[in-house]
């Protein structure tokens, strides 16, 4: 199946075949089939196979009538972020432990060429992936309500069902060690079987130029992966890849400490948010 898929992708990359609707649709079907296989049974099936198949996420297969040039650019950026992030996560070697919390939450890091230092949070959450996906994607703009490290998240533009451009304002760190930053990001949300992906990277948008007095930081590729636990499908193996450039003159030792702690804090705040959601649902049911 894989060689045939590559042929279809190659075919739609040529100008004289781009308008062949049948060929493009066949490529889409073939690619979706391969992605579904990535999220198939087995606790690490997607990550063990994705390195050979990551190029199948090429944005050329997402071309559909109705998108203008700007929208197509955002679609491509989102798919590129997802492809790069999964490629990084598929490499199991070279990670160094930054911190391990008492509850087992773990942050690791590694230095990558052309990207720099990236961080990876690995936790187990006692929530079904669907509930987490709904909170992190469906309720994205509410993140400032439960995550004190975030002041605001605003969706600037939606492109199709899977891609959006957002503006995020971060809060100051305790003691104002790192002042407030803002980010403009393209985000790509995908679901393949029971596995959920939320990838992103920095971009530009006409509605949100750089703000005076606020440092415009950059991120990406980043990606959150939510996969049901093999032993208990109502629990989620939650992985968050974080790559970020805070800009400004901040010592690397401080940056490393702030980013790893931010990931640990995020997991705890997310747990509390989900617990509060359950309590509210129970209260409404009474």
Average pLDDT, the chain: 81
The CATH architecture that domain 74-285 belongs to is 2-Layer Sandwich (3.30)
- Residue range 9-14: mean pLDDT, rounded: 40
Phi-psi region of 200 (alpha: psi -120 to 50; beta: other; left: phi over 0): beta
* Spatial CB neighbours of 201, under 8 Å, sequence gap ≥ 6: 77, 78, 80, 81, 84, 185, 186, 219, 220, 221, 222
Lowest-pLDDT choice from 4-8, 64-68, 152-156, 271-275: 4-8
Residue 176 or residue 8, greater confidence: 176
Burial of 4 (0-12, 13-18, 19+ CB in 10 A): exposed
What's the pLDDT score for residue 285?
66
Structure tokens at 67: 């998108």
Question: What is the reported pTM?
Answer: 0.78
């Amino acid at each position: 199946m894989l060689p045939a898929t590559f042929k279809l992708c190659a075919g739609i990359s040529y100008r004289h075949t781009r308008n062949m609707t049948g060929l493009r649709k066949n490529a889409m079907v073939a690619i979706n089939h391969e992605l579904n296989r990535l999220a198939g049974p087995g606790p690490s099936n997607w990550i063990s196979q994705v390195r050979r198949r990551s190029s199948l996420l090429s944005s050329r297969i997402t071309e559909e009538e109705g998108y203008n040039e700007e929208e197509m650019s955002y679609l491509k950026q989102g798919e590129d972020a997802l492809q790069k992030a999964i490629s990084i996560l598929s490499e199991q070697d070279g990670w160094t432990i930054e911190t391990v919390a008492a509850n087992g939450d773990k942050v690791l890091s590694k230095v990558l060429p052309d990207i720099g230092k990236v961080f990876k949070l690995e936790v187990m959450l006692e929530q079904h992936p669907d509930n987490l996906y709904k909170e992190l994607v469906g309720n994205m703009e509410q993140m400032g309500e439960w995550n004190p490290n975030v002041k605001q998240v605003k969706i600037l533009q939606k492109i199709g069902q899977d891609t959006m451009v957002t503006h995020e304002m971060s809060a100051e760190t305790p003691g104002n060690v790192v002042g407030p930053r803002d980010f403009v990001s393209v985000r790509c949300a995908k679901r393949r079987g029971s596995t959920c992906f939320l990838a992103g990277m920095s971009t530009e948008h006409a509605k949100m130029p750089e703000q005076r007095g606020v440092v415009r930081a950059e991120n990406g590729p980043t990606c959150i992966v939510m996969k049901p636990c093999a032993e208990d499908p109502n629990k989620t193996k939650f992985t968050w890849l974080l790559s970020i450039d805070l800009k400004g003159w901040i010592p690397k030792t401080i940056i490393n400490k702030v980013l790893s702690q931010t990931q640990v804090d995020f997991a705890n705040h997310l747990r509390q948010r989900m617990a509060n959601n359950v309590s509210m649902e129970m209260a409404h049911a009474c």
